[in-house]
Amino acid sequence: MLEILKAKQLYAELSKCELWLDEMKFLGHVISVEGIVVDLAKVESVLQWECPRTVTNIKSFVGLAGYYRRFIEGFSKIVAPLTQLSRKEQPFIWTDAFEQSFDELKRRLTTSPVLVLPDSGEPFGVYCDASHQGLGCVLMQNRKVVAYASRKLKNHERNYPTHDLELAAVVFALKIWRHYLYGARFSVFSDHKSLKYLFDQKELNMRQRRWMEFLKDYDFQLMYHPGKANVVADALSRKSIHMSSMMVKELELVEKFRDLNLCVELAQDHISCGMITITSEFLRQVGQK
């Protein structure tokens, strides 16, 4: 970073710089050598979010969740009921389906995985999937997740045949991650076999031709891969899930200690918390010698 600033003749105010940090907070994220996670403060606000009672409450929660949609696989499918309830023509009647969507979104946000930082020197893998509910894709490097993306189908897209839906998912992924993929060599994986032979087909409809022209801007290999879901699931390492769970547990413990109103006393050789005293065995042995 310092070399880049020097090369571009840019100057930074030393008093406003923090150097040699193990991790840093930036725009609601915590960035470290391990990757990117949701800021602990945001996780706490999600845990404390009460059940929405108005359309305004729903929009506020969906807005917060949407900011972290890159951490949530299948985000558009999970949030769909809440989005539907926030429409003007929709009467506000809170049902079990909306409750389930709200709880699932909270759970996903508070147990979100660690996303790795993209490395321009490593090849990307794009896993795409489509259904009549929406489009979903995952950007990966070295079998680790860089980002998730998904969206609902538009009204006219619901009439697409399966072949076109799968192709639409590929186009969607390449558009949203153009800044990562353009100019790079990468692989696209789909569980629809016919897409593998797409470039050899002579008879294409106008929509397919338009998409084909768009795809020609990218250098990629389209590959058939059954069971994409298993590959994506394996990418969420145990360490990532464990770190997210620790964040949630830590918040729960903090709340319990607040309720107990315990007084903590710090001394040179021990720590007293209420009626509990914690001493260091190492310090005691040194004192005896």
190 falls within a domain:
yes
DSSP label at 289? Answer: -
Walk along the chain (289 residues) in steps of 10 and give the mean pLDDT of each run.
84 80 76 75 77 85 80 80 83 86 82 78 89 86 86 87 88 92 91 74 83 91 68 38 43 52 54 55 53
Whether 165 and 246 map to the same domain: the answer is no
165 falls within a domain:
yes
Please say whether the beta carbons of 170 and 215 come within 8 A: yes
End-of-domain residue from the set 220, 235, 250: 235
17 falls within a domain:
no
6 falls within a domain:
no
270 falls within a domain:
no
Alpha carbon of residue 238 to chain centroid:
16
Closest CA to 118 of 184, 61, 166, 73: 184
Structure tokens at 262: 């315990």
Measured between alpha carbons, how far apart are the two ends of the chain, in Å? 50
Whether 192 and 51 map to the same domain: the answer is no
Whether 221 and 162 map to the same domain: the answer is yes
CATH of the domain at 172: 3.30.420.10
Single-letter amino acid, residue 220:
F
Whether 90 and 185 map to the same domain: the answer is no
Number of domains in the chain: 2
Closest CA to 140 of 175, 186, 104, 101: 186
Q: Which domain holds residue 249?
A: 25-115+239-261
4 falls within a domain:
no
Closest CA to 65 of 54, 53, 77: 77
Residue the block writes with tokens 């020197």: 121
pTM: 0.60
Whether 84 and 32 map to the same domain: the answer is yes
List CB contacts of 248: < 8 A, sequence separation 6 or more.
43, 47, 110, 111
Whether 95 and 157 map to the same domain: the answer is no
CATH of the domain at 98: 3.30.70.270
